[in-house]
Amino acid sequence: MKLQETLELHVKAAIKTLFQSELESVEFQVTRKEFAGDITVVVFPMLRVVKGNPAVIGERVGQYLLDNVELVKGYNVVKGFLNIEIDDSYYLDFFLGIKDKENYGLAELKDDKAVMVEYSSPNTNKPLHLGHVRNVLLGYSVSEILKASGKNVYKAQIINDRGIHICKSMLAWERFGNGETPESTGLKGDKLVGNYYVKFNQAYKAEISELVAQGQSEEEAKKNAPILLDAQEMLRQWEAGNEEVVSLWKKMNQWVYDGFEVTYKNIGVDFDTYYYESDTYLLGKEFVTEGLKTGVFIKKEDGSVWCDLAEDGLDEKIVLRSDGTAVYMTQDIGTAIQRIKDYPDVGGMVYTVGNEQDYHFKVLFLILKKLGFDWAKNLFHLSYGMVDLPSGKMKSREGTVVDADDLIREMADTAEEISKELGKLEDYSEDEKKALYKTIGLGALKYYILKVDPKKRILFDPKESIDFQGNTGPFIQYTYARIQSILRKAEVKDNVTLSAVEVSLHEKEKQLIKQLELFPEVIQSSAEQHSPALIANYTYDLVKDFNSFYQNVSILGANTDEEKGFRVALSKSVSRTIKNAFSILGIEVPERM
């Protein structure tokens, strides 16, 4: 039984014995560092059933616990807070129970409904950029966190492979490409196609300027530019199934898919299932028909179909145009339903999409509930803020985005530059150095993004992220590598039995064990809140506690073999927890650094 659960039973017993009252629950919090104690009981909520001075109630409950609970070795009361000191034996027993568990903190797979997590969802007219990187890292890490909490998870993406933006790249390649391919240029396919998206917009702007010079207003010119009209015609031809257009679309999309896969591999993420908008854009129309019959939707005079959400505090939302064509909402309704058909064990979904789509998902989830799907109550929008750079916003059509591949390369280069300044890699081969720079660079990027609450906007500074001090990925990676060095030097005898250790725990040892004890709970909280930031910042706190322990307690110079064995085992458990936590975030840890 957990410490908190044990204490709750005894606090309830104290209230019943001392005050003849029944408590429904007991509120605990971590004891503030300026007070003695390991766990704090908040007395104020008890005043609902026990009348009196909270400090006096705290004193009486504290004395009861001291007299009746073996684990309690002391207490103090500060106003309405009862700070309880726990005997070292509890923490030692806890540690001995986890010291050999490779997967400590990671829950067993529970026998309940699976979760599908959608992330990435790129357009096939440009390479992945820094904005996609935050999306991918969030979606992948939330998937891994849900797995670590005991859930079965499917990682999914829907690829936006149709629409006018795709046709813009296709048309520009036809006009200006001279038949070049990824093979002939040496460019990744997504970069090649992205270049033509930029070329389209350059030509489009030039035509607008020409039409304005001829006397059209800017609004008219934007609508009448010949290259845009041609792109719109190409889209109509694609939707009509024109063989030549569809063939070009398939060829250029494949270039992009191949390019995306290289980027995903470089960044260390994967998917279990793929959906394509070209397959799903007509899904949902049959459910609009059903919804009309049941009154979920209404048809207007022009034939368009809407969902009136006024009673829910929202507005009307169109689900079918007057010409019978689907909108994004229709497609998303159909795709959600299709996913449950494809994966019947899925009972909920997480959509990793930027916060500009908050309203869209609020409406989508509400419509699915109104259509009578029970699983709709388990849908979650993992909404996140944008990523800015010190130089400002990024724009795909201007060609001013930070390309994901370039960013990964830049992070490795920055890691190399800083590592050379520190001069710690003299005995590494060139291949080892190269692999380490990538591990440090990617770790810095991922940690910098994931340590921030998803809802917050990020100003990303590559240099700042690769700092070997402070709340950064490299600082945590370096501490992990330091522990591995200690373990290599330790040479602890295999026959040391830690259970026989008569230990009076040093305060730094006790703090480390208390931090280790929190790990399973942090994973569960992180899964419930869909927040990798909780895991990231927990790991930083654990590392800070270890470094404080390392500076204050001699590990290899301990007085006895038993004491040395205990401290080495504690260090090993810390390093394993760092590795497990970072693995959940998709970050590697180096054995040497």
Report the pLDDT averaged over residues 218-225: 95
Q: Is residue 592's pLDDT more than 90?
A: no
Q: Are residues 222 and 176 in the same domain?
A: yes
Return the DSSP state at 504. -
Q: Are residues 64 and 192 in the same domain?
A: no
Q: Are residues 140 and 205 in the same domain?
A: yes
Tally Cβ neighbours within 10 Å of residue 469.
8
Return the DSSP state at 117. E
Joined tokens for residue 24 = 């429904």
CA–CA separation, 144 vs 587, rounded Å?
Answer: 11
| pLDDT for residue 501 | 54
Which of 388, 408, 427 is where one domain is finished?
388
Report the pLDDT averaged over residues 527-548: 98
Q: What is the CATH number of the domain that holds 172?
A: 3.40.50.620
| pLDDT for residue 242 | 96
Joined tokens for residue 433 = 């150095």
Report the pLDDT averaged over residues 577-587: 98
The residues, ordered by sequence, that sit 6+ positions from 279 with a Cβ below 8 Å of its Cβ are: none
Mean pLDDT of the chain: 92
Q: Is residue 399's pLDDT more than 70?
A: no
Q: What is the CATH number of the domain that holds 60?
A: 3.30.1360.70
Predicted TM-score (pTM) of the model is: 0.90
Q: Is residue 393's pLDDT more than 70?
A: no
The residues, ordered by sequence, that sit 6+ positions from 585 with a Cβ below 8 Å of its Cβ are: 141, 144, 446, 447, 450, 532, 535, 536
Domain span at residue 251 reads: 114-280+335-388
Tally Cβ neighbours within 10 Å of residue 460.
19
Q: Are residues 274 and 319 in the same domain?
A: no
Report the pLDDT averaged over residues 517-545: 97
Q: What is the percent of the chain where pLDDT is above 70?
A: 96
Q: Are residues 521 and 476 in the same domain?
A: yes
| pLDDT for residue 28 | 95
Out of 155-164, 422-431, 558-567, the most confident range is 155-164
Whether 133 contacts 263, CB under 8 Å: no
Does 430 fall in a domain?
A: no
pLDDT class of 453 with cuts at 50, 70, 90? very high
Whether 126 contacts 190, CB under 8 Å: yes
* Residue with the larger pLDDT of the pair 419 and 174: 174
CA–CA separation, 455 vs 560, rounded Å?
Answer: 50
Report the pLDDT averaged over residues 165-187: 96
| pLDDT for residue 401 | 67
Whether 519 contacts 545, CB under 8 Å: no
- Name 76's bridge partners: 83
CA–CA separation, 78 vs 85, rounded Å?
Answer: 14
CA–CA separation, 268 vs 435, rounded Å?
Answer: 14
Whether 127 contacts 196, CB under 8 Å: no
Q: Are residues 467 and 344 in the same domain?
A: no
Reported as a single tens digit per residue, the pLDDT across 298-341 is 999 999 999 999 999 999 999 999 988 888 999 999 999 999 99
Does 426 fall in a domain?
A: no
Reported as a single tens digit per residue, the pLDDT across 227-266 is 999 999 999 999 899 999 999 999 999 999 999 999 999 9
Strands, DSSP E only, in 160-209? Answer: none
Does 40 fall in a domain?
A: yes
Which of 388, 412, 431 is where one domain is finished?
388
Tally Cβ neighbours within 10 Å of residue 212.
14
Joined tokens for residue 297 = 């939707």
| pLDDT for residue 494 | 47
Does 480 fall in a domain?
A: yes
3-class secondary-structure state, position 171: helix
Q: Are residues 205 and 239 in the same domain?
A: yes
| pLDDT for residue 492 | 56
Joined tokens for residue 294 = 């049941």
Which of 325, 345, 378 is where one domain is finished?
325
| pLDDT for residue 402 | 80
Q: Is residue 395's pLDDT more than 70?
A: no
CA–CA separation, 508 vs 385, rounded Å?
Answer: 38
Return the DSSP state at 149. T
CA–CA separation, 497 vs 509, rounded Å?
Answer: 18
How many structural domains comprise the chain? Answer: 4
| pLDDT for residue 120 | 94
The residues, ordered by sequence, that sit 6+ positions from 406 with a Cβ below 8 Å of its Cβ are: none
Report the pLDDT averaged over residues 46-69: 95
Whether 189 contacts 255, CB under 8 Å: yes
Q: Are residues 127 and 253 in the same domain?
A: yes
